[in-house]
Structure 1
Amino acid sequence: MSLTPQALRLLSREIVTLRSDPPEGVRIVVDEDDLTNMEGWVQGPSGTPYEGGYFRIRFQFGIEYPNLPPKCTMITKIFHPNFSKNGEICVDTLKKGWKKEYGVGHVLVTIKCLLIHPNPESALDEEAGKQLLADYDGYCKYAKLMTNIHATPKLPPAEFRSTASSSSTTKAPQMTQASSSRPPNSASSVTSTGTSARPTPLGMSVSQEQSPVVEQSATIGDDTKLMKNGLGGTGKIPAAGGAKTGAASKAKRGVKRL
Protein backbone atom coordinates (compact mmCIF):
# COMPACT_ATOMS: atom_id res chain seq x y z
CA MET A 1 0.00 0.00 0.00
CA SER A 2 1.55 3.30 -1.11
CA LEU A 3 1.89 6.44 0.98
CA THR A 4 0.77 9.92 0.06
CA PRO A 5 3.44 12.17 -1.53
CA GLN A 6 3.62 14.21 1.66
CA ALA A 7 4.16 11.09 3.78
CA LEU A 8 6.85 9.86 1.38
CA ARG A 9 8.71 13.16 1.61
CA LEU A 10 8.52 13.03 5.40
CA LEU A 11 9.76 9.45 5.46
CA SER A 12 12.62 10.13 3.04
CA ARG A 13 13.85 13.06 5.17
CA GLU A 14 13.82 10.86 8.26
CA ILE A 15 15.73 8.13 6.45
CA VAL A 16 18.47 10.62 5.56
CA THR A 17 18.68 11.74 9.20
CA LEU A 18 18.76 8.19 10.57
CA ARG A 19 21.54 7.24 8.16
CA SER A 20 23.72 10.29 8.82
CA ASP A 21 23.14 10.64 12.57
CA PRO A 22 21.37 7.58 14.03
CA PRO A 23 20.54 7.28 17.75
CA GLU A 24 22.96 5.13 19.71
CA GLY A 25 22.33 1.43 19.16
CA VAL A 26 19.75 1.99 16.41
CA ARG A 27 20.04 1.44 12.63
CA ILE A 28 17.71 1.07 9.65
CA VAL A 29 17.74 -0.98 6.43
CA VAL A 30 15.75 0.45 3.49
CA ASP A 31 14.91 -0.80 0.02
CA GLU A 32 15.96 2.03 -2.30
CA ASP A 33 13.22 1.12 -4.78
CA ASP A 34 10.53 1.13 -2.10
CA LEU A 35 11.10 3.29 0.97
CA THR A 36 8.17 1.68 2.75
CA ASN A 37 10.03 -1.64 2.70
CA MET A 38 12.00 -0.93 5.84
CA GLU A 39 13.54 -2.82 8.73
CA GLY A 40 15.22 -1.58 11.87
CA TRP A 41 17.97 -2.91 14.12
CA VAL A 42 18.16 -2.40 17.89
CA GLN A 43 21.35 -3.28 19.73
CA GLY A 44 20.83 -4.96 23.09
CA PRO A 45 21.57 -2.41 25.84
CA SER A 46 24.51 -3.10 28.14
CA GLY A 47 23.66 -4.31 31.62
CA THR A 48 20.57 -6.19 30.41
CA PRO A 49 20.04 -9.87 29.47
CA TYR A 50 19.92 -8.66 25.86
CA GLU A 51 23.46 -7.26 25.82
CA GLY A 52 25.44 -8.46 22.83
CA GLY A 53 22.32 -9.18 20.80
CA TYR A 54 20.93 -7.43 17.71
CA PHE A 55 17.16 -7.42 17.27
CA ARG A 56 15.46 -6.92 13.91
CA ILE A 57 12.12 -5.12 13.59
CA ARG A 58 9.99 -4.96 10.43
CA PHE A 59 7.95 -1.84 9.62
CA GLN A 60 4.69 -1.74 7.67
CA PHE A 61 3.30 1.68 6.80
CA GLY A 62 -0.40 2.21 6.20
CA ILE A 63 -1.83 4.78 3.82
CA GLU A 64 -2.71 7.04 6.77
CA TYR A 65 0.86 7.27 8.03
CA PRO A 66 2.02 9.46 9.82
CA ASN A 67 -1.42 10.15 11.27
CA LEU A 68 -1.51 6.51 12.34
CA PRO A 69 1.51 4.54 13.63
CA PRO A 70 3.27 1.93 11.50
CA LYS A 71 2.79 -1.72 12.31
CA CYS A 72 5.97 -3.16 13.82
CA THR A 73 6.92 -6.81 14.23
CA MET A 74 9.89 -8.24 16.12
CA ILE A 75 11.55 -10.67 13.71
CA THR A 76 14.28 -11.87 16.08
CA LYS A 77 13.17 -14.38 18.70
CA ILE A 78 13.26 -12.88 22.18
CA PHE A 79 12.15 -13.75 25.70
CA HIS A 80 10.48 -10.59 26.97
CA PRO A 81 7.08 -9.84 28.54
CA ASN A 82 6.16 -7.19 25.95
CA PHE A 83 6.95 -9.23 22.84
CA SER A 84 4.71 -12.12 21.89
CA LYS A 85 6.05 -15.33 20.44
CA ASN A 86 4.83 -14.29 16.99
CA GLY A 87 6.63 -10.91 17.23
CA GLU A 88 3.82 -8.57 18.24
CA ILE A 89 5.03 -5.58 20.26
CA CYS A 90 3.08 -4.15 23.17
CA VAL A 91 4.04 -0.53 23.67
CA ASP A 92 1.77 2.50 24.00
CA THR A 93 3.78 4.47 21.42
CA LEU A 94 2.45 2.14 18.69
CA LYS A 95 -1.14 2.47 19.91
CA LYS A 96 -2.98 5.28 21.68
CA GLY A 97 0.25 7.09 22.58
CA TRP A 98 1.21 7.67 18.94
CA LYS A 99 1.71 11.22 17.63
CA LYS A 100 2.25 12.13 14.00
CA GLU A 101 5.43 13.98 15.03
CA TYR A 102 6.92 10.61 15.94
CA GLY A 103 8.70 8.54 13.36
CA VAL A 104 10.77 5.43 12.79
CA GLY A 105 13.62 6.62 14.99
CA HIS A 106 11.28 7.28 17.90
CA VAL A 107 9.78 3.78 17.60
CA LEU A 108 13.19 2.10 17.60
CA VAL A 109 14.39 4.11 20.60
CA THR A 110 11.18 3.19 22.45
CA ILE A 111 11.80 -0.50 21.75
CA LYS A 112 15.35 -0.13 23.04
CA CYS A 113 13.99 1.42 26.25
CA LEU A 114 11.56 -1.49 26.53
CA LEU A 115 14.53 -3.87 26.59
CA ILE A 116 15.90 -1.94 29.57
CA HIS A 117 12.59 -1.57 31.44
CA PRO A 118 10.15 -4.43 30.71
CA ASN A 119 6.53 -3.90 31.74
CA PRO A 120 5.11 -7.15 33.12
CA GLU A 121 1.75 -5.49 33.82
CA SER A 122 0.92 -5.47 30.09
CA ALA A 123 2.59 -8.71 29.12
CA LEU A 124 1.99 -10.34 25.76
CA ASP A 125 4.19 -13.26 26.80
CA GLU A 126 2.55 -14.29 30.08
CA GLU A 127 5.28 -16.82 30.89
CA ALA A 128 7.97 -14.12 30.68
CA GLY A 129 5.86 -11.68 32.67
CA LYS A 130 5.23 -14.15 35.51
CA GLN A 131 8.87 -15.23 35.71
CA LEU A 132 10.03 -11.61 35.71
CA LEU A 133 7.88 -10.93 38.80
CA ALA A 134 8.51 -14.23 40.61
CA ASP A 135 12.13 -15.05 39.76
CA TYR A 136 14.07 -12.15 38.27
CA ASP A 137 17.40 -14.01 38.23
CA GLY A 138 15.83 -16.98 36.45
CA TYR A 139 14.16 -14.60 33.98
CA CYS A 140 17.50 -12.92 33.20
CA LYS A 141 19.24 -16.25 32.80
CA TYR A 142 16.72 -17.57 30.28
CA ALA A 143 16.48 -14.22 28.43
CA LYS A 144 20.25 -14.18 28.07
CA LEU A 145 20.24 -17.76 26.79
CA MET A 146 17.66 -16.86 24.14
CA THR A 147 19.72 -13.79 23.20
CA ASN A 148 22.87 -15.86 22.75
CA ILE A 149 21.06 -18.40 20.58
CA HIS A 150 18.92 -16.18 18.36
CA ALA A 151 20.29 -12.63 18.49
CA THR A 152 24.06 -12.84 18.83
CA PRO A 153 25.84 -13.17 15.46
CA LYS A 154 29.54 -13.81 14.98
CA LEU A 155 29.85 -10.29 13.58
CA PRO A 156 27.56 -7.28 14.16
CA PRO A 157 25.15 -6.45 11.33
CA ALA A 158 26.71 -4.59 8.41
CA GLU A 159 24.99 -1.33 9.39
CA PHE A 160 26.84 -1.27 12.70
CA ARG A 161 30.18 -2.37 11.22
CA SER A 162 30.17 0.28 8.49
CA THR A 163 29.59 3.08 11.01
CA ALA A 164 32.40 1.88 13.29
CA SER A 165 34.89 1.48 10.44
CA SER A 166 34.14 4.91 8.92
CA SER A 167 34.65 6.69 12.25
CA SER A 168 37.98 4.92 12.86
CA THR A 169 39.33 5.69 9.38
CA THR A 170 38.56 9.38 9.68
CA LYS A 171 40.35 9.73 13.00
CA ALA A 172 43.44 7.65 12.24
CA PRO A 173 45.06 9.97 9.62
CA GLN A 174 44.78 12.95 11.96
CA MET A 175 46.59 11.12 14.72
CA THR A 176 49.31 9.95 12.31
CA GLN A 177 49.82 13.42 10.88
CA ALA A 178 50.02 15.02 14.31
CA SER A 179 52.57 12.49 15.53
CA SER A 180 54.74 12.70 12.40
CA SER A 181 54.76 16.49 12.07
CA ARG A 182 56.97 16.90 15.16
CA PRO A 183 60.36 15.15 15.00
CA PRO A 184 61.64 13.29 18.05
CA ASN A 185 63.72 15.25 20.57
CA SER A 186 62.65 18.48 18.90
CA ALA A 187 63.20 21.73 20.73
CA SER A 188 60.14 23.33 19.15
CA SER A 189 57.39 24.62 21.39
CA VAL A 190 53.66 24.12 20.80
CA THR A 191 51.41 27.15 20.64
CA SER A 192 47.82 27.33 21.89
CA THR A 193 46.53 26.59 18.39
CA GLY A 194 48.39 23.29 18.34
CA THR A 195 50.97 24.31 15.68
CA SER A 196 54.70 24.06 16.31
CA ALA A 197 56.80 27.21 16.57
CA ARG A 198 59.92 27.45 14.42
CA PRO A 199 62.63 25.41 16.14
CA THR A 200 65.84 27.01 17.35
CA PRO A 201 68.88 25.78 15.32
CA LEU A 202 70.97 23.19 17.09
CA GLY A 203 73.91 24.60 19.04
CA MET A 204 72.51 28.14 19.15
CA SER A 205 71.10 29.83 22.23
CA VAL A 206 69.15 33.06 22.51
CA SER A 207 72.30 35.01 23.48
CA GLN A 208 74.12 33.70 20.42
CA GLU A 209 71.36 35.01 18.17
CA GLN A 210 71.99 38.49 19.61
CA SER A 211 75.77 38.22 19.25
CA PRO A 212 76.05 40.18 15.92
CA VAL A 213 74.72 43.29 17.67
CA VAL A 214 77.19 42.87 20.50
CA GLU A 215 80.10 42.41 18.07
CA GLN A 216 79.08 45.50 16.15
CA SER A 217 79.13 47.69 19.24
CA ALA A 218 82.50 46.20 20.25
CA THR A 219 83.93 47.02 16.82
CA ILE A 220 82.72 50.60 17.08
CA GLY A 221 84.49 50.92 20.43
CA ASP A 222 87.76 49.58 18.96
CA ASP A 223 87.57 52.00 16.04
CA THR A 224 87.09 54.91 18.40
CA LYS A 225 90.06 53.83 20.48
CA LEU A 226 92.13 53.38 17.34
CA MET A 227 91.31 56.91 16.21
CA LYS A 228 92.37 58.32 19.56
CA ASN A 229 95.61 56.39 19.50
CA GLY A 230 96.32 57.47 15.94
CA LEU A 231 95.76 61.11 16.77
CA GLY A 232 97.89 60.73 19.84
CA GLY A 233 95.70 63.12 21.70
CA THR A 234 96.93 66.03 19.52
CA GLY A 235 94.08 66.11 17.09
CA LYS A 236 96.49 65.78 14.11
CA ILE A 237 96.09 63.23 11.33
CA PRO A 238 98.84 60.57 11.54
CA ALA A 239 101.31 59.86 8.73
CA ALA A 240 100.46 57.58 5.86
CA GLY A 241 102.55 54.78 7.26
CA GLY A 242 100.77 55.02 10.56
CA ALA A 243 97.42 54.87 8.80
CA LYS A 244 98.49 51.74 6.90
CA THR A 245 99.70 50.18 10.15
CA GLY A 246 96.43 51.04 11.87
CA ALA A 247 94.40 49.59 9.00
CA ALA A 248 96.49 46.42 8.98
CA SER A 249 96.07 46.05 12.74
CA LYS A 250 92.34 46.52 12.39
CA ALA A 251 92.15 43.88 9.64
CA LYS A 252 94.25 41.51 11.73
CA ARG A 253 91.96 41.93 14.73
CA GLY A 254 89.00 41.32 12.47
CA VAL A 255 90.53 38.01 11.30
CA LYS A 256 91.16 36.88 14.85
CA ARG A 257 87.62 37.78 15.87
CA LEU A 258 86.23 35.71 13.04
Structure 2
Amino acid sequence: SPPGGEGFCVLESAPTNHRFRLSILQPSEPRSFYSAVKREIKLLKSDLPSGVWVRGYEDRIDLLSVMIAGPTRTPYEGGLFVFDVQLGGEYPRAPPLCHYHSYCSDRLNPNLYEDGKVCVSLLGTWSGRGVEVWGKDSSLLQVIVSLQGLILNAEPYFNEAGYEKQKGTQQGTENSRMYNEMVLLKLVQSMTKMGVNPPEPFRDEVIEHLRSTAADLCKRLEGLVALSNQQPTDVSPPDYPLVPASRGFCLTLSSSLQSFRSALRRSEILQL
Protein backbone atom coordinates (compact mmCIF):
# COMPACT_ATOMS: atom_id res chain seq x y z
CA SER A 1 0.00 0.00 0.00
CA PRO A 2 1.41 3.45 -0.84
CA PRO A 3 2.52 5.65 2.08
CA GLY A 4 -0.38 7.86 3.10
CA GLY A 5 -3.00 5.38 1.94
CA GLU A 6 -4.99 3.00 4.06
CA GLY A 7 -3.33 -0.32 4.75
CA PHE A 8 0.08 -1.29 6.04
CA CYS A 9 3.47 0.22 5.32
CA VAL A 10 6.85 0.44 7.02
CA LEU A 11 8.45 3.78 7.90
CA GLU A 12 12.08 4.36 8.78
CA SER A 13 11.76 5.20 12.48
CA ALA A 14 9.13 5.22 15.21
CA PRO A 15 7.86 8.68 16.25
CA THR A 16 9.37 10.09 19.45
CA ASN A 17 5.92 10.33 21.03
CA HIS A 18 5.15 6.61 20.54
CA ARG A 19 3.93 5.39 23.92
CA PHE A 20 6.35 2.43 23.99
CA ARG A 21 9.33 4.09 22.29
CA LEU A 22 11.44 4.14 25.47
CA SER A 23 10.85 0.49 26.34
CA ILE A 24 13.64 -1.95 25.52
CA LEU A 25 12.90 -4.92 23.29
CA GLN A 26 13.99 -8.12 25.08
CA PRO A 27 11.98 -11.07 23.77
CA SER A 28 11.97 -13.95 26.25
CA GLU A 29 11.86 -16.41 23.33
CA PRO A 30 13.54 -14.65 20.38
CA ARG A 31 12.83 -17.36 17.80
CA SER A 32 9.10 -17.54 18.40
CA PHE A 33 8.97 -13.73 18.78
CA TYR A 34 10.52 -13.00 15.38
CA SER A 35 8.53 -15.66 13.55
CA ALA A 36 5.29 -14.33 15.13
CA VAL A 37 6.18 -10.75 14.11
CA LYS A 38 6.74 -11.96 10.54
CA ARG A 39 3.36 -13.68 10.57
CA GLU A 40 1.65 -10.53 11.95
CA ILE A 41 3.16 -8.34 9.23
CA LYS A 42 2.09 -10.78 6.53
CA LEU A 43 -1.50 -10.70 7.87
CA LEU A 44 -1.50 -6.91 8.16
CA LYS A 45 -0.27 -6.60 4.57
CA SER A 46 -2.89 -8.94 3.14
CA ASP A 47 -6.01 -8.91 5.34
CA LEU A 48 -6.42 -5.43 6.85
CA PRO A 49 -10.04 -4.22 6.57
CA SER A 50 -10.74 -0.89 4.89
CA GLY A 51 -10.73 2.18 7.13
CA VAL A 52 -7.53 1.10 8.90
CA TRP A 53 -3.97 2.45 8.63
CA VAL A 54 -1.04 0.58 10.23
CA ARG A 55 2.59 1.71 10.29
CA GLY A 56 5.56 -0.45 11.22
CA TYR A 57 9.11 0.83 11.82
CA GLU A 58 12.48 -0.31 10.49
CA ASP A 59 14.25 0.77 13.68
CA ARG A 60 11.75 -0.95 16.03
CA ILE A 61 10.24 -4.21 14.79
CA ASP A 62 8.21 -4.47 18.03
CA LEU A 63 6.34 -1.14 17.64
CA LEU A 64 3.34 -0.31 15.46
CA SER A 65 0.93 2.60 15.12
CA VAL A 66 -2.70 1.99 14.20
CA MET A 67 -5.40 4.42 13.09
CA ILE A 68 -9.03 3.35 12.66
CA ALA A 69 -11.76 5.39 10.97
CA GLY A 70 -15.06 5.36 12.86
CA PRO A 71 -17.42 2.93 11.09
CA THR A 72 -20.36 4.33 9.10
CA ARG A 73 -23.86 4.04 10.59
CA THR A 74 -22.45 4.52 14.11
CA PRO A 75 -21.99 7.70 16.18
CA TYR A 76 -18.24 7.30 15.53
CA GLU A 77 -18.58 7.95 11.78
CA GLY A 78 -16.21 10.70 10.64
CA GLY A 79 -13.89 10.20 13.62
CA LEU A 80 -10.35 8.79 13.76
CA PHE A 81 -8.94 6.65 16.57
CA VAL A 82 -5.18 6.33 17.07
CA PHE A 83 -3.39 3.57 18.99
CA ASP A 84 0.24 2.76 19.82
CA VAL A 85 1.06 -0.94 19.95
CA GLN A 86 4.01 -2.90 21.27
CA LEU A 87 4.65 -6.59 20.73
CA GLY A 88 6.17 -7.05 24.20
CA GLY A 89 8.85 -9.37 25.54
CA GLU A 90 6.38 -12.19 26.30
CA TYR A 91 4.70 -11.94 22.88
CA PRO A 92 3.35 -14.14 21.21
CA ARG A 93 2.45 -16.01 24.42
CA ALA A 94 1.06 -12.76 25.84
CA PRO A 95 -1.08 -10.27 23.88
CA PRO A 96 0.31 -7.00 22.49
CA LEU A 97 0.31 -3.88 24.65
CA CYS A 98 -2.03 -1.21 23.33
CA HIS A 99 -2.38 2.50 24.18
CA TYR A 100 -5.20 4.75 22.94
CA HIS A 101 -4.45 8.42 22.23
CA SER A 102 -7.42 10.29 23.70
CA TYR A 103 -8.24 13.71 22.28
CA CYS A 104 -11.21 14.50 24.51
CA SER A 105 -11.99 14.81 28.20
CA ASP A 106 -13.37 11.66 29.81
CA ARG A 107 -14.41 8.69 27.61
CA LEU A 108 -16.20 8.53 24.27
CA ASN A 109 -16.48 4.74 24.57
CA PRO A 110 -16.72 2.41 27.60
CA ASN A 111 -13.65 0.49 26.36
CA LEU A 112 -11.34 3.45 25.59
CA TYR A 113 -10.06 5.38 28.59
CA GLU A 114 -8.79 8.96 28.71
CA ASP A 115 -5.50 7.69 30.21
CA GLY A 116 -5.00 5.41 27.19
CA LYS A 117 -6.20 2.10 28.60
CA VAL A 118 -7.83 -0.11 25.95
CA CYS A 119 -10.30 -2.69 27.30
CA VAL A 120 -10.57 -5.56 24.84
CA SER A 121 -10.91 -9.23 25.80
CA LEU A 122 -8.15 -10.31 23.39
CA LEU A 123 -5.72 -7.96 25.16
CA GLY A 124 -6.61 -9.50 28.52
CA THR A 125 -8.01 -6.17 29.74
CA TRP A 126 -11.75 -6.92 29.53
CA SER A 127 -13.92 -9.80 30.66
CA GLY A 128 -17.44 -10.56 29.63
CA ARG A 129 -19.60 -13.26 28.14
CA GLY A 130 -18.38 -15.27 25.17
CA VAL A 131 -15.19 -13.24 24.95
CA GLU A 132 -12.17 -14.13 22.91
CA VAL A 133 -9.05 -14.86 24.92
CA TRP A 134 -5.52 -14.43 23.56
CA GLY A 135 -4.08 -17.76 22.41
CA LYS A 136 -1.26 -19.04 20.24
CA ASP A 137 -3.24 -18.42 17.05
CA SER A 138 -4.40 -14.91 17.97
CA SER A 139 -3.13 -11.87 16.08
CA LEU A 140 -2.97 -8.10 16.21
CA LEU A 141 -5.24 -8.15 13.16
CA GLN A 142 -7.98 -9.73 15.34
CA VAL A 143 -7.49 -6.99 17.93
CA ILE A 144 -7.88 -4.33 15.22
CA VAL A 145 -11.00 -6.02 13.83
CA SER A 146 -12.60 -6.19 17.27
CA LEU A 147 -11.78 -2.51 17.97
CA GLN A 148 -13.32 -1.52 14.66
CA GLY A 149 -16.35 -3.81 14.71
CA LEU A 150 -17.20 -4.60 18.33
CA ILE A 151 -16.00 -1.54 20.26
CA LEU A 152 -16.81 1.33 17.86
CA ASN A 153 -20.40 0.20 17.35
CA ALA A 154 -23.84 1.83 16.98
CA GLU A 155 -24.83 1.48 20.64
CA PRO A 156 -21.64 1.67 22.73
CA TYR A 157 -23.63 2.15 25.95
CA PHE A 158 -24.24 -1.61 25.95
CA ASN A 159 -20.48 -2.35 25.81
CA GLU A 160 -20.38 -1.63 29.55
CA ALA A 161 -20.31 -4.91 31.49
CA GLY A 162 -23.79 -5.94 32.63
CA TYR A 163 -25.62 -3.26 30.64
CA GLU A 164 -26.71 -5.62 27.85
CA LYS A 165 -29.49 -6.77 30.23
CA GLN A 166 -31.15 -3.39 29.55
CA LYS A 167 -31.33 -4.02 25.79
CA GLY A 168 -34.88 -3.83 24.48
CA THR A 169 -36.19 -1.99 27.57
CA GLN A 170 -37.45 1.59 27.42
CA GLN A 171 -34.85 2.66 30.01
CA GLY A 172 -32.05 0.91 28.10
CA THR A 173 -33.03 2.59 24.83
CA GLU A 174 -33.11 6.03 26.48
CA ASN A 175 -29.76 5.42 28.23
CA SER A 176 -28.24 4.35 24.91
CA ARG A 177 -29.65 7.45 23.19
CA MET A 178 -28.23 9.75 25.88
CA TYR A 179 -24.86 7.99 25.67
CA ASN A 180 -24.81 8.57 21.90
CA GLU A 181 -25.40 12.30 22.47
CA MET A 182 -22.28 12.32 24.65
CA VAL A 183 -20.33 10.32 22.02
CA LEU A 184 -21.09 12.85 19.27
CA LEU A 185 -20.04 15.81 21.44
CA LYS A 186 -16.78 14.05 22.39
CA LEU A 187 -16.21 13.05 18.75
CA VAL A 188 -16.38 16.68 17.59
CA GLN A 189 -14.10 17.69 20.49
CA SER A 190 -11.62 14.96 19.49
CA MET A 191 -11.55 15.81 15.80
CA THR A 192 -11.13 19.53 16.63
CA LYS A 193 -8.05 18.79 18.76
CA MET A 194 -6.71 16.28 16.25
CA GLY A 195 -7.04 18.79 13.41
CA VAL A 196 -5.08 21.39 15.40
CA ASN A 197 -2.38 18.90 16.40
CA PRO A 198 -2.42 15.80 14.16
CA PRO A 199 -0.65 12.78 15.67
CA GLU A 200 2.50 11.28 14.17
CA PRO A 201 2.94 9.18 12.10
CA PHE A 202 -0.52 9.95 10.68
CA ARG A 203 -0.26 13.73 10.32
CA ASP A 204 -0.85 13.80 6.55
CA GLU A 205 -3.53 11.10 6.72
CA VAL A 206 -5.48 13.02 9.40
CA ILE A 207 -5.35 16.25 7.38
CA GLU A 208 -6.42 14.41 4.23
CA HIS A 209 -9.26 12.70 6.13
CA LEU A 210 -10.52 16.03 7.50
CA ARG A 211 -10.30 17.69 4.09
CA SER A 212 -12.43 14.97 2.56
CA THR A 213 -14.92 14.33 5.39
CA ALA A 214 -15.25 17.39 7.69
CA ALA A 215 -17.85 19.20 5.58
CA ASP A 216 -19.99 16.03 5.43
CA LEU A 217 -19.61 15.49 9.18
CA CYS A 218 -20.82 19.05 9.89
CA LYS A 219 -23.73 18.71 7.48
CA ARG A 220 -24.79 15.36 8.95
CA LEU A 221 -24.62 16.56 12.56
CA GLU A 222 -26.39 19.83 11.77
CA GLY A 223 -29.06 17.72 10.08
CA LEU A 224 -29.51 15.73 13.31
CA VAL A 225 -30.06 19.01 15.19
CA ALA A 226 -32.62 20.08 12.55
CA LEU A 227 -34.42 16.71 12.81
CA SER A 228 -34.54 17.02 16.60
CA ASN A 229 -35.95 20.56 16.32
CA GLN A 230 -38.43 19.37 13.65
CA GLN A 231 -36.90 21.69 11.06
CA PRO A 232 -36.60 20.77 7.37
CA THR A 233 -33.43 18.89 6.39
CA ASP A 234 -32.41 16.35 3.76
CA VAL A 235 -30.47 14.39 6.40
CA SER A 236 -32.12 11.05 7.29
CA PRO A 237 -32.50 9.93 10.90
CA PRO A 238 -29.47 7.83 11.94
CA ASP A 239 -29.52 4.03 12.33
CA TYR A 240 -28.65 4.41 16.03
CA PRO A 241 -30.79 5.85 18.86
CA LEU A 242 -30.39 9.64 18.99
CA VAL A 243 -33.30 11.55 17.47
CA PRO A 244 -35.07 13.45 18.88
CA ALA A 245 -31.97 14.66 20.70
CA SER A 246 -32.22 16.83 23.83
CA ARG A 247 -32.24 20.61 23.64
CA GLY A 248 -29.02 20.86 25.66
CA PHE A 249 -27.28 18.50 23.23
CA CYS A 250 -28.47 20.49 20.19
CA LEU A 251 -27.19 23.79 21.63
CA THR A 252 -23.83 22.33 22.70
CA LEU A 253 -23.33 20.50 19.40
CA SER A 254 -24.06 23.63 17.34
CA SER A 255 -21.46 25.60 19.29
CA SER A 256 -18.93 22.69 19.12
CA LEU A 257 -19.32 22.56 15.34
CA GLN A 258 -18.55 26.29 15.13
CA SER A 259 -15.34 25.72 17.12
CA PHE A 260 -14.51 22.73 14.89
CA ARG A 261 -14.92 24.81 11.74
CA SER A 262 -12.87 27.73 13.01
CA ALA A 263 -10.09 25.40 14.23
CA LEU A 264 -9.89 23.80 10.77
CA ARG A 265 -9.88 27.23 9.13
CA ARG A 266 -7.05 28.40 11.41
CA SER A 267 -5.06 25.24 10.63
CA GLU A 268 -5.74 25.92 6.93
CA ILE A 269 -7.21 22.45 6.56
CA LEU A 270 -10.53 23.74 5.24
CA GLN A 271 -12.30 26.80 3.98
CA LEU A 272 -15.51 25.86 5.82
Closer, same or farther in 2 for the Cα pair 1:81/1:54, shift >3 Å?
A: same
Q: Which runs of 5+ in 2 are unaligned?
A: 1-24, 125-131, 164-170, 209-272
Q: Which residue of 2 aligns with 1:82?
A: 111
Deviation at 1:157, TM superposition (A): 6.1
Contact 1:61/1:71 (8 A) holds in 2: yes
Closer, same or farther in 2 for the Cα pair 1:151/1:99, shift >3 Å?
A: farther
**TM-score, scaled to structure 2:** 0.49
Closer, same or farther in 2 for the Cα pair 1:151/1:102, shift >3 Å?
A: farther
Alignment of 1:150-169 (within 5 A): 150-151=190-191, 158=204
% identical aligned pairs? 30
2:64 aligned with 1:28, yes or no?
Answer: no
Closer, same or farther in 2 for the Cα pair 1:20/1:132, shift >3 Å?
A: same
Judging by fraction of residues, say which structure has more helix: 1
Q: Which residue of 1 aligns with 2:152?
A: 115
Alignment of 1:246-257 (within 5 A): none
Taking the aligned partners of 1:112 and 1:99, their CA distance within structure 2 comes to 20
Q: Alpha carbon RMSD of aligned pairs, Å?
A: 3.0
Alignment of 1:224-243 (within 5 A): none
Q: Which residue of 2 aligns with 1:98?
A: 134
User: Max radius of gyration: which structure?
Assistant: 1
Taking the aligned partners of 2:58 and 2:205, their CA distance within structure 1 comes to 15
2:37 aligned with 1:11, yes or no?
Answer: yes
- For residue 100 of structure 1, what is the amino acid of its counterpart? K
Alignment of 1:190-209 (within 5 A): none
Closer, same or farther in 2 for the Cα pair 1:122/1:110, shift >3 Å?
A: farther
Deviations 1:30-88 (A, max 9, x none): 11111112111111011111101110111122211011101111113351112222121
Across the two proteins, how many residue pairs are aligned to each other?
A: 155
Deviation at 1:108, TM superposition (A): 0.8
Deviant stretches of 4+, over 4 Å: 131-134, 152-162
Closer, same or farther in 2 for the Cα pair 1:132/1:142, shift >3 Å?
A: farther
Taking the aligned partners of 1:67 and 1:39, their CA distance within structure 2 comes to 21
Deviation at 1:134, TM superposition (A): 5.3
2:185 to 141, 145, 151: 145
- For residue 59 of structure 1, what is the amino acid of its counterpart? V
- For residue 73 of structure 2, what is the amino acid of its counterpart? G
Deviations 1:100-157 (A, max 9, x none): 211111111111121116311269xxxxxxx987532222122112112214766986
Q: Which residue of 2 aligns with 1:165?
A: none
Contact 1:57/1:74 (8 A) holds in 2: yes
Q: Which residue of 2 aligns with 1:38?
A: 64
2:85 to 49, 53, 59: 59
Deviations 1:176-205 (A, max 9, x none): xxxxxxxxxxxxxxxxxxxxxxxxxxxxxx
Taking the aligned partners of 1:100 and 1:136, their CA distance within structure 2 comes to 36
Deviation at 1:158, TM superposition (A): 4.8
Taking the aligned partners of 2:207 and 2:182, their CA distance within structure 1 comes to 28
For the residue of structure 2 that corresponds to 1:39, the secondary structure is strand
Q: Which runs of 5+ in 1 are unaligned?
A: 124-130, 163-258
For the residue of structure 2 that corresponds to 1:121, the secondary structure is coil
Contact 1:82/1:122 (8 A) holds in 2: no
For the residue of structure 2 that corresponds to 1:27, the secondary structure is strand
For the residue of structure 1 that corresponds to 2:152, the secondary structure is helix
For the residue of structure 1 that corresponds to 2:161, the secondary structure is helix
2:97 aligned with 1:68, yes or no?
Answer: no
